[in-house]
Amino acid sequence: MDIVTHALSGVMLASLMPETTPEQKAIIVLGSVLPDISFSKAYFLIAKKAKKSVFKLNLDDFTKYGSIVKPKIKSYLFFHSFIFLLALLIVGFLFSNIFLFLSLGWGLHLFYDLLLHKYKEEELRPKPFYPFKKSWDIGLTNAWMLKPRHFLIMWFNHLVIIFMLTIK
């Protein structure tokens, strides 16, 4: 899913927790965008290969040129694994609750991606327990197929919910 939707989902989650401090809210939002950061360069590499803007990439470009970013897919799977999330939670319980707030946003990101990454090809499906190879097919749709207007609707919906959660 795109970074704006992930960030807005983090704001939405933070809005559900009015007793948290602004710093803790910021960490939740940070957690909701961080899982994709290591992979973000891959989008630009694919765009360069496909000779188009990163905003115009579609599912075909991803399947056609995905192999050039294969080394990056490993780090993508690593940061999108519930095993990594579990490690974050353990660090949070043992050392600092900063990591607990980070893992809240992180968990929400993984949940969104599971539902929005539907693929016919088994090797492209989410592997929520990476490095274990088992893939899951519980996606409802594939975010690569969404049109700009779908993103606008999604952002708008999140903003409405955030507004409803924050008005006094």
- Residues of this chain that interact with Zn ion (CB under 5 A) are 35-36, 113
Q: C-alpha angle 37/38/41, rounded to 5°?
A: 85
The Cα-based distances of 11 to 96, 109, 129, 158, 168 in angstroms read 21, 12, 26, 9, 17
Give me 32's structure tokens. 């909701």
Rounded to a whole number of angstroms, the minimum distance from the CB of residue 51 to Zn ion is 25
Rounded to a whole number of angstroms, the minimum distance from the CB of residue 139 to Zn ion is 12
Rounded to a whole number of angstroms, the minimum distance from the CB of residue 14 to Zn ion is 18
Peptide bond into 131 cis (omega under 30): yes
Count CB-CB contacts under 10 A for residue 56. 10
Do 108 and 89 form a contact (C-beta atoms < 8 A)? no
Rounded to a whole number of angstroms, the minimum distance from the CB of residue 33 to Zn ion is 9
List of long-range contacts for 59-63, beta carbons under 8 Å, 24+ apart: 59/142, 59/144, 59/145, 62/144, 63/121, 63/124
Do 49 and 63 form a contact (C-beta atoms < 8 A)? no
Which of 25/117 has CB closer to Zn ion? 117
Which of 20/144 has CB closer to Zn ion? 144
Which of 61/113 has CB closer to Zn ion? 113
Rounded to a whole number of angstroms, the minimum distance from the CB of residue 144 to Zn ion is 12
Which of 32/101 has CB closer to Zn ion? 32
Which of 35/105 has CB closer to Zn ion? 35
